[in-house]
């Protein structure tokens, strides 16, 4: 059999390039997950911090109008991180590198989403009290 006929895109499973490509794919998926979480944490911190920063200089309705969308966006980011982890398209070849536990990823994101939901409730209660 002629090995050149298969071309470089069709590496054999025992080819180390296939294993390295699978590892790169896994690391890219983990970077995407952490980017979603990092963006969500930034939005959550911005939404919470905007209350202290803007209080006294803007009307309460405008402060709530700034804070609530930021916290809602953080909830979306935490959901998207988990959704993206489970919907990556065609499964890549089996990587040599161990994957992060999906249970741990879900637990972390559920915890972050609960914190964001509590912040959103605090914003709503604060708006009602003000």
- Please give, one letter per residue, the 3-state secondary structure of the chain: CCHHHCCCCCCCCCCHHHHHHHHHHHHHHHHHHHHHHHHHHHHHHHHHHHHHHHECCECHHHHHHHHHHHHHHHHHHHHHHHHHHHCCCCCCCCCCCCCCCHHHHHHHHHHHHHHHHHHHHHHHHHHHHC
**Tokens encoding 112:** 């972050």
Which has the higher per-residue pLDDT, 118 or 12? 118
Average pLDDT of the chain is: 84
Residue 58: closest CA among 130, 120, 125: 130
pLDDT tens for each residue of 5-30: 555 555 455 777 877 878 888 888 88
Read off the pTM. 0.76
The strand pairing partners of 55, in sequence order, are: 58
């Amino acid at each position: 059999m002629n090995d050149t006929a298969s071309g470089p895109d069709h590496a054999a499973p025992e080819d180390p390039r296939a294993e390295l490509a699978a590892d790169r794919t896994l690391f890219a998926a983990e970077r995407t997950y952490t980017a979603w979480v990092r963006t969500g944490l930034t939005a959550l911190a911005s939404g919470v911090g905007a209350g202290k920063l803007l209080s006294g200089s803007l009307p309460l309705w405008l402060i709530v109008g700034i804070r609530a969308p930021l916290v809602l966006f953080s909830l979306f980011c935490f959901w998207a991180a988990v959704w993206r982890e489970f919907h990556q398209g065609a499964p890549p070849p089996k990587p040599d590198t161990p994957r992060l536990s999906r249970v741990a990823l879900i637990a972390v994101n559920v915890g972050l989403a609960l914190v964001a939901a509590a912040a959103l409730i605090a914003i709503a209660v604060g708006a009602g009290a003000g």
